[in-house]
Structure 1
Amino acid sequence: MWPIIKFLGTLFISFIAMIGALGAENPFPLFAVAWGVWILYILSLRAKRKKELDRERLIREILDKL
């Protein structure tokens, strides 16, 4: 459930930033916000996946020693 909430939050923030960029005099800061939110979201998914892989590797090592 938490990844869905993070995805919807990311989608909402980037949508608002892009809409704001349409009427802004200098849209580049808002573009940076929109893209930055997506980069942070992807990095958070990668970090979670890395932890899961490390946990699986540790379990395999323990089972191999038995």
Structure 2
Amino acid sequence: MWATIKFLGTLFISFIAMIGALGAENPFPLFAVAWGIWIIFIVSLRPRREKELDKEQLIREILDKL
């Protein structure tokens, strides 16, 4: 659920930045915001996957011992 909220927030921020870049005299800072927010979103998802994998491995180890 939290990933969905972050995705929608990222989508909204990048959409507003891209629309703003259409009418801006210098659009490159807004392009940087739009792409930067996607990079932050992707990076924020990576540790969560690693933690889930660690939990799955721990559960497998415990079940193997039983």
TM range (shorter): 0.7 to 0.9
Amino acid at match of 1:55: K
SS of 1:26's equivalent? Answer: coil
> Which consecutive unaligned segments of at least 5 residues does structure 2 have?
none
Match of 1:17 in 2: 17
The code of the aligned residue for 2:59 comes to I
What percentage of residue pairs aligned between the two structures are identical?
83
TM-score, L = length of structure 1: 0.85
Instruction: Name the residue aligned to 2:42.
Output: 42
The aligned length equals 66
Counterpart secondary structure, 1:37: helix
Aligned AA for 2:56?
E
Q: Deviations over 1:13-57 (max 9, x none)?
A: 000100111111111111111011111111122221111001111
Could you say which residue in structure 2 is the equivalent of 1:30? 30
- Mind listing any 5+ residue stretches in structure 1 that lack a counterpart? none
What is the aligned-residue RMSD (CA, Å)?
1.3
Tell me by how many angstroms 1:63 deviates. Answer: 2.6
Tell me the TM-score normalised to structure 2 length: 0.85
